[in-house]
Amino acid sequence: MLTKEVYRMTQTLSPAPRTAPGPRGKFLVGNLFDSRQSGLLDYHVKAWHAHGDVVRFQMGPITLIQVVRPEHIQQVLVGNAKNYVKGLSHENLRRTIGDGILTAEGEAWQRQRRLMAPTYTPKGVAQFADIMGDATRKLLAGWEARGTTQPVMINQEMMQVTMSVISRSMFGLDIGEHFKETGDGLRYLLQHVSERGLSSVDWPAWVPTESNRRLKNAVRVVDDFLYGVIRERRRNGLGEDLLSLLMTAKDAETGAEMSERQLRDEVLITFFAGHETTAQTLTWTWAMLAQQPEVERKLWDEIDRVLAGRSPTLDDVGALTYTRQVIDETLRLYSPVAVMARDTVAADEIGGYSVAPGNLILLLPFMTHRHPEFWEQPDVFNPDHFMPERVKDRPRYAYVPFGAGARSCLGVHFALLEAVLILAETAQRYRIRLADPNQELEFDWAGTLRPKGDLPMLLTRR
């Protein structure tokens, strides 16, 4: 009788989860040093090809589980999101730029998201379209003045224009142009965060290394500026910028406003999250267009038809559908946020493999977006991947450049509006070519996915 009962029970249970496969590691350190040697992203891509869609790594004491399938992304970021939090994996980021919406958890995060969300709706960001257009025209005027015989470093140019957009949207002034020391401090801080954000081996902040000294100095300069602007606003009244919106935002439940420290952290996080990502997207877009004359021709056709020589405005964005597909396709192949991380709270199972509390989950849009099961010719840059009928046929979480679920990108509408306006205005006036047509486009993964080194490109007036 008992045996029958046990037999029946075992039939209703699913098979016990197994340990996910992964590369063999070394004694004590596991895969830590091997992954550093071959370039981190490259190492993870090779492991995907060798071991499949769920891979386990041992990085010293930390067990890391890499997932790439849409349904697993759904599970971690949406379905069972409460089990996967921004814990230790975000500690470096928290230490450097503070505990704002990007890094906070639980109640603290919910409150900040509630406060900030209304500012970033499609309607909310529309007010920044003029700044985006104006910053682009200023960039192009600079090109005009400089002439087109010498190449420009397109990555630096795109960083400059997106920095100008975010700082003018935030404060109504261009930090890079008018506050050189603050601009340099901010750039250093953001670069430091990008490069160290995912590093698990770092000197503590109190050790007087050269990089810690420079970091401390940058934080001081940036803080002096940010607290100065916040106090100046309190004294002299608010303007019509993001900072003013954040300063007046009241929690719908408690009616509370943000403290000075919270405002400072949120401003810094907006700079961090919202300027380099868009700059990298545009940089990769220029590199792709230079290599794909057919795509470039289709883009020009649309821009010339819709704009007929005018500068694009907010009202044109809906008609610039191919322009948007070009941006979507860049975000597929070169997602600036190529990797997202979460810490596991309680035991779970992903794709039949066991996940234990404390395991670090790595979600890799870089691979999800190139997964042959979900993308036709995944390695080819082809904006037709985003024709509406093709989008409809794909699993929703096969494309996640802005993350997914409650923690998805707050600035998605801001970023897409900015990228489309800058691309349309610039491509209308210039043809942009690689200075060395044979240049191999290698990427570097340091927080965001960027081209390795500078990307010199030649401009020709259209």
Residue numbers of the site for ligand HEM (CB under 6 A)? 101-102, 113, 269-270, 273-274, 277-278, 281, 336-337, 340, 401-403, 407-411, 414-415
**CB of residue 390 to ligand HEM, shortest distance in Å:** 21
Q: Specify the residue, 266 or 348, whose C-beta has the smaller distance to ligand HEM.
A: 266
Residue 326 CB, nearest distance to ligand HEM (Å)?
Answer: 13
Comparing CB distances to ligand HEM, the nearer of 108 and 435 is 108
Residue type (1 letter), 284: W
Token couple for 155:
């990555």
> Which tokens in the block code for residue 147?
């002439």
Residue 65 tokens read as 């589980």
Long-range contacts from 241-249, C-beta under 8 angstroms, 24+ separation: 241/168, 241/169, 241/170, 241/171, 241/172, 242/119, 242/128, 242/169, 242/170, 242/171, 242/270, 243/170, 243/171, 243/267, 245/119, 245/124, 246/115, 246/116, 246/119, 249/115, 249/116, 249/118, 249/119
**Shortest Å distance, C-beta 203 to ligand HEM:** 25
- Identify which of residues 30 and 312 has a Cβ nearer to ligand HEM in the complex: 312
Q: What are the C-alpha distances in Å from 31 to residues 27, 353, 367? A: 9, 19, 20
State how far the Cα of 287 lies from the Cα of 284, in Å rounded to an integer: 5
Instruction: State the minimum distance, in angstroms, from the CB of residue 234 to ligand HEM.
Output: 23
**Is the Cβ–Cβ distance between 350 and 54 less than 8 Å?**
yes
Residue 278 CB, nearest distance to ligand HEM (Å)?
Answer: 5
For ligand HEM, the closer CB: 195 or 304: 195
Q: How far apart are CA 96 and CA 91, in angstroms?
A: 9
User: Min. distance of Cβ 256 from ligand HEM in angstroms?
Assistant: 18
User: Which residue, 325 or 459, has its beta carbon nearer to ligand HEM?
Assistant: 325
Q: Are 271 and 166 in contact (CB under 8 A)?
A: yes
Query: Looking up tokens 């379905």, which residue turns up?
Result: 79
Of 139 and 269, nearer to ligand HEM (C-beta) is: 269
We find the least distance from the C-beta atom of residue 342 to ligand HEM, in angstroms, to be 7
Closest CB to ligand HEM among residues 23, 197: 197
